[in-house]
Amino acid sequence: MNEENIFSPCSSPAAVENTNYFYVNKDGFPMQFSTWRQMCRFAAKKHPNGKNVIKDLLECAKLEEIPPPEAPILNHKRIENKLQAVQQYIYSLQYNHTGTQFFDIRKDRTIIGHSETAKAILRECLPIKCLEAVILAVFLTSGLHGLERFAIGFKSCFNNSSTHKHVVLGVYYGGMYGAIGISRRESLGYKPLKYTTLTALIEEFEQSYNNVHHQLLKVAIGLPISHDNRSFEQINWKYLTLQNFHSRDRERVQQVIERYAKDMRTKLKTSSSIRSSLKRQISSVVSSDLRNSLGKKSMSCTNIYSKESPTKILPQIKK
């Protein structure tokens, strides 16, 4: 790839003018030249002195090789340490500032489809954005007993002009709430497992938005996500949506959030008890079926011998 090809006009110049969002690599890996060109042109336009930086990279004969980060091994005893290990791995991938999302993520995909995307992220070890971090965190935390995960989405406004969307993975364990994620601002990503209520966690994010001069417009909270990475269920991203969050009555907001959190915890307890009772019923049914099948086999063996009883065989011998 040379500078002339990279910065030559692309097939749809109007797309480059639309700078409200970002591009997405929909062609997979290895990345197509058109995707590289689109990414470089977009980054050169958005970043200060971006064109000179990209030109220096293209003219560099040999770039330094950076070893890929190792995937976390969750062999810690405490759930807090496991969540920190997942978060540290997400941080090691770094935030993607290029303006092109490397992994195509459609929210309407099933969990098994998202799991394949998470495996690709682990394989390629490229910088990621907030949505990719959520999908990766869902995959890495699946199977952690007692941990419940749900999406928390935000929409904010900066300087009463541009709006921005963000999403993290909310976590609940042992009566405490936290979050896993990544953002341009570190305060809008990871939150340790220390908040006693879901409202306290949301208010912490609101304060983090205020600290970077953003006004929080909307908060969306999803339903608990299945731990089965082979599930054909879809992730519910916004079961509860709070519009005009910054101007709502605080007491009313707290009531709505805590009612939802209570219902979620109740459903989790009910579903866990149902799952445990189903497991007991299934194990009892399997064991009874196994006993019955063994009994039928022994009966069939007995029938085989009884059909050829000596009283039936002896007349044949005499003949």
- The identity of residue 164, as a single letter, is H
Query: Annotated catalytic residue: which of 40, 183, 208, 214?
Result: 183
Q: What's the CA gap between 80 and 176, in Å, rounded?
A: 10
Query: Annotated catalytic residue: which of 40, 166, 208, 214?
Result: 166
- Using alpha carbons, list the distances in angstroms from residue 105 to 1, 79, 92, 128, 135: 27, 28, 21, 11, 9
Q: What's the CA gap between 148 and 137, in Å, rounded?
A: 12
φ, ψ at 152 (rounded to 5°): -125, 115
φ, ψ at 195 (rounded to 5°): -90, 125
Sign of CA dihedral 238, 22, 136, 185: negative
Of 71, 149, 168, which is closest to residue 111 (Cα–Cα)? 149
SS3 state at 179: strand
Query: Annotated catalytic residue: which of 115, 130, 142, 156?
Result: 130
Computed over its alpha carbons, how large is the radius of gyration of the chain? 28
Q: What's the CA gap between 68 and 265, in Å, rounded?
A: 38
Q: Is 166 a catalytic residue?
A: yes
Q: Is 309 a catalytic residue?
A: no
Q: Is 130 a catalytic residue?
A: yes
Of 46, 41, 48, 51, which is closest to residue 21 (Cα–Cα)? 46
Active-site residue list: 130, 166, 183
